Every structure is written in C-alpha cells, then in structure tokens.
Structure 1
Amino acid sequence: MTTPHPRAFVVGHPIGHSRSPLIHGHWLAEHGLPGAYERVDVHPDAFPDFVRSLQAEGWVGGNVTIPHKEAAFRLAQVLTPRAGRIGAVNTLWFEDGRLHGDNTDAPGFLAHLDASLGVGWPEATGASNGRSALVLGAGGAARAILVGLLERGLDRLVVANRSAERAEGLTALDSTRITAIAWDAVPMHLRETGLLINTTALGMAGQDPLALDLAPLPEAAAVADIVYVPLETPLLAAARARGLPAVDGLGMLLHQAVPGFARWFGRRPDVSPALRARIVADLESHR
C-alpha cells in the first residue's frame, strides 16, 4: 500500500497574492521531496468547518494568513507557549492525532535579524543606549515581534501607534519592559533606540510613506521594516542614506516558513540566496 504524499496549504481570504506556494515549492524541488503545497481561499464563515475537516481531506497541516489567524488560535487543540502569548496562529500541524498551532512570525523576524545583522545584534545596536527597540504599530505583527524581542531578552521596548489605546494594550505582554507612547512622541524617543521597527502599512506600495527623520537615531542603531512591497521602502532608504543597517521585510516572510515545512515534509530547509532571488524576481514581475 502506497503512502499518500503529504499535502499542505496556505489558507486566507483573499489568498491569490500569497508567495508561500513559491517558497515551499522551491524547497520541495530543492530537496527532491514528494508532496504538494496549495493555496486555499476560505471565507471566514467557512473557516471553522475547513479546520475541522483537515485530516478527513488529507491535509497534514498548513499556514494561516489574514483574516484567519485568531480563529486558528481558537480552533487549535494544542498551542505553543509563544502562540498563547501572541493570541494568533499562522502554522498548523497534526501530532499524536491532535491539531497543534504555533506562531512563527516572531522567530521568523528574529532569524532574519540574525542573518542580516549578526547574532550579536542586541548588544551591537545597544552599544550606548541599552538593548532597546522602538516598534511602530500595534497590530498582530507588532504583537508577534514584541513577543520575539521579549524572548530574546531585550531590556526596553517602546510601542507607538496612532491609536494610543491599542499600543497601551500591548504593554500587558510585559509591563516592566514595554512602554506605550503617543505617535507624535516618536522623534524624541529615537535617540534612545537601538532598533527601529516599522510594522505598519506606511511605506507599502499604494500607501502613504512613513515620514520620519532618522537623524536622532544613535550611530549603532539599525532599522527594520516588515513591508516587502516595495523591498526598499522610504524608511529603509533613509536608513541606508544615514549609513545605518537596513533590514527589509522579505526575510521575515522566508524565515517564518521554515518551521512549517519541517513539520509537514520532514526536512528543515535553508533560506538561501537562490530562494530569495526567486521571490524577488516574482515581486518584480508583478510591479
């Protein structure tokens, strides 16, 4: 009796824009593994039934994207501690007959920082101002990144958002290390920031740019943007013009995919230059 090839998915609504099939398809081909990774468009009303039927439909698991991450969190039978803190799930798999859920955005973001800045970046960027970060935005990505930075042991995290109430809500993750500030207070906090992270849509293609003078940032600081369309956002261009390390958003997308692939297909892949080049070429072709 032949064993069916593993089938995994990325589910969202809409889902046609997702680059995940390209990423996982690249790894399947690179490692010569049998299997499939498919896009599935599911309306939010139908998502609970979709999740409950996963095993019956032959899925080994998959990725979850907007708008289903919080629903997946509620439906998973077993959660990683990280997913529990974030309150959202982007990776599902079966283990011992139970549906497990994790959020790999946090380790994906940190893995990209390590690859871009070196694993000692918390000390290097905090040379004169402590191990600190300023996070712009207070959505799901900001929450995941804050959890990752807490796990990495940063001393001081500051969150700024146009809606002050949403920023205040994130301080509950660790009230001793996370502080919320008003959006217009960002410039005065830059001089004490080792790592500036944009998690908003500002700077994304079709959106307003993130207008921010980076002159107050310390000489040892770094700047990251989770936007990857365009790959070089105005914020990152301004960072490079100041001679600061600039970390784009594509690496987070690539690195967050690694744990899921390892779960579903049994091989831990690498985020290689060849993979990055393939995704960049795809982004360029759709400009």
Structure 2
Amino acid sequence: MTVVAGVAGQPIAQSLSPVIHGTWIAAAGLDAVYRAFGPADAAAFADLVGQGRRGVLRGLNVTAPFKEQALALADEVAAAARACGSANLLVFEDGRIRADSTDGEGLMGALAEQAPELEVNSRPVVILGAGGAARAAAAALMAAGAQVGVLNRTAERARALADDLGVAVVEAGALGEAALVVNALSVPPSIDPAALKSEAVLMDMTYRPLVTPFLAAGRARGLTTVDGLAMLIGQAKPSFRALFGVEPPDVDVRRAALAALGEAE
C-alpha cells in the first residue's frame, strides 16, 4: 500500500519539500508519495490532520501559518517541539498524532556542513528576530551550549522568547562579540557587517534567494556564510526517517532543489 505524506502550509506552491522528499523516495525505490497540501484556513488544516488520524496519511511536515496549530492538535509532543512552541512534523500512527520539530536539527546540520570550524559551545550567538524560526534556532543553539542572545525590533516579543527559553535579550552592540549571527527574520536585517568580528559566521534561515542580501554583505566582508537551503535539507532528513522509516539515500538533493529554485551555487 502506497505511503502518503506531504507538507502543509499556505501559501505552499513554492515549497521545495516535495522536490527534496520526492528525490529521496525515487532513489530509495519506495512505494510512497509526498505531496503539497494548501489548506485554506485553520479549519481546513484540522480536517487534513483528521485524515491523518484516520490513517489516510502517514504524516505531514508543517509550515506557516499552521505550526502552532499542529502542536495543539497533537496527542504526544516531543521536547524540541515543546521548546519551540510549534511543530513542523506530525506523524500519524494508530489514530494518534505525534508532534516534533526538526528545525533545530536542520540548523545545526547546516552549520556543521557549511561552517565546520565554528564552535558554538560557551560562545556568544545573536539571533535576529523573535518569531517561531527564532525560537527553534534559540532552542537548538542553547542545547549546543551557546550563549544565546535575541535581538528584535519589538523588545516585548524578544522578552517573551527570552523568558520562555532562558536566553538573553541583547542590543545591537552584542553583534560585535558574536561568533554566529542567525537571521530568523522574513525580511533582510539592517546589519552592518563591518561591526562583526572577522571570524564571525552568518546564517540566514531564508533560502529565497539562496544568497540573501544579508549573506551577500557578509561574503563581501570575507565572512563564512550558511544558507537557508542547507537548513531546509537538514530538517528534512529526520522528517524523512520519521515518515518513511528509512534513511535518506545518499543522493544530491541540493542539486535538485537548486534546479527547482532556478539557482546555481
């Protein structure tokens, strides 16, 4: 029987997850499909999750704006999802729903791949933003031993994140000491790369475009940069294991994703 899984969000047409998972499914020779679902609203998303509870779906990756709702609908919640306050993965089994967040694992995997010399343990890290992406980044970096600070235009949101996760709220001056700066905003941040240490690493959680203005400015300064596509692929790996019960095959999914983006390295 064909295993059916997919990604749910709104809008969803530009999601690269079907490309990534579809490439792995084909390489592994699985009897499975991975589809994009675009529920119109919260009620439609709840209906989709209900199909999973009834056994129609094996699982769902979840993106905006349904990640918090996904957490609320689950019967079991993994520690990573609880720390983030949202879930990007729902697995359906025997009428029950298990929620998890693989974003943090994806972030750490991307850093290991594209900034292998970076050591975050006991070092200052600044995260730009205070939304769900920032929460996932903060939780993962805290678990890795980093001294995490959150910098956000709206101080109230930054304080809420800091209170929930036990990180610090910092000002712009903290950028000058950061070993790593992570952009978790959906818009380009107004950061002067000249204010950063020469060995600082910049990471952008956005992958459209692959080299964002934030990363381009860092590269012009000679800084090591980590792109959001590496994180997307990194978070997809544990999702694939959970959804299909096998390891992702050793195939170049980044090339397939870049082709779908119309980008080159």
**TM-score bracket, shorter-length normalisation:** over 0.9
- Is residue 183 of structure 2 the alignment partner of residue 194 of structure 1? no
Evaluate the alpha carbon distance shift between residue 271 and residue 225 of structure 1 in structure 2; reply closer, same or farther with a 3 A threshold.
farther
1:272-287 equivalent positions in 2, closer than 5 A: 272=251, 274-284=252-262
Q: Is the Cα–Cα contact under 8 Å of residues 231 and 250 in structure 1 kept in the other structure? A: yes
Counterpart amino acid of 2:261?
A: L
Whether contact under 8 Å (2:71, 2:85) holds in the other structure is: yes
Q: How does 1:102-181 map to 2 (within 5 A)?
A: 102-118=100-116, 121-122=118-119, 131-154=123-146, 156-175=147-166, 178-181=167-170
Counterpart contact for 1:254–1:271, Cα < 8 Å? no
Query: Percent identity among equivalent residues?
Result: 39
- 1: distance between equivalents of 2:72 and 2:115? 35
Task: State the SS of the aligned residue for 1:253.
Answer: helix
SS state at 1:121 partner: coil
- Given the alignment, which residue of 1, 9, 17 partners 1:20? 17
Q: Give the 3-state SS of the residue equivalent to 2:20 in structure 1.
A: helix
**Structure with more contact order per residue of length (Cα contacts < 8 Å, sep ≥ 6):** 2
Q: Which runs of 5+ in 2 are unaligned?
A: none
Aligned mates of 2:257, 2:75 — CA distance in 1: 33
On the 8 A contact 2:55/2:95 being kept in 1, the answer is no
Q: Which AA in structure 2 matches 1:50?
A: L
CA distance in 1, matches of 2:134, 2:37: 26
Q: Mark the structure with the bigger radius of gyration.
A: 1
Shift of the 232–225 alpha-carbon distance from structure 1 to 2, 3 Å rule, reads: same
Secondary structure of the corresponding residue to residue 231 of structure 1:
coil
Asked if structure 1 preserves the Cα contact closer than 8 Å seen for 2:55 and 2:94, the reply is no
CA separation in 2, counterparts of 1:68 and 1:174? 21
Aligned 8 A contact 2:55 2:93 in 1: no
- Please state how far the C-alpha of 1:28 moved relative to its aligned partner: 0.6
Q: What TM-score do you get using the length of structure 1 for normalisation?
A: 0.86
Could you tell me which residue of structure 2 aligns to residue 100 of structure 1? Answer: 98
The alpha-carbon deviation at position 167 of structure 1 amounts to 0.5
Residue type at the aligned position of 1:140: G
CA contact (8 A) 2:54 2:95 kept: no
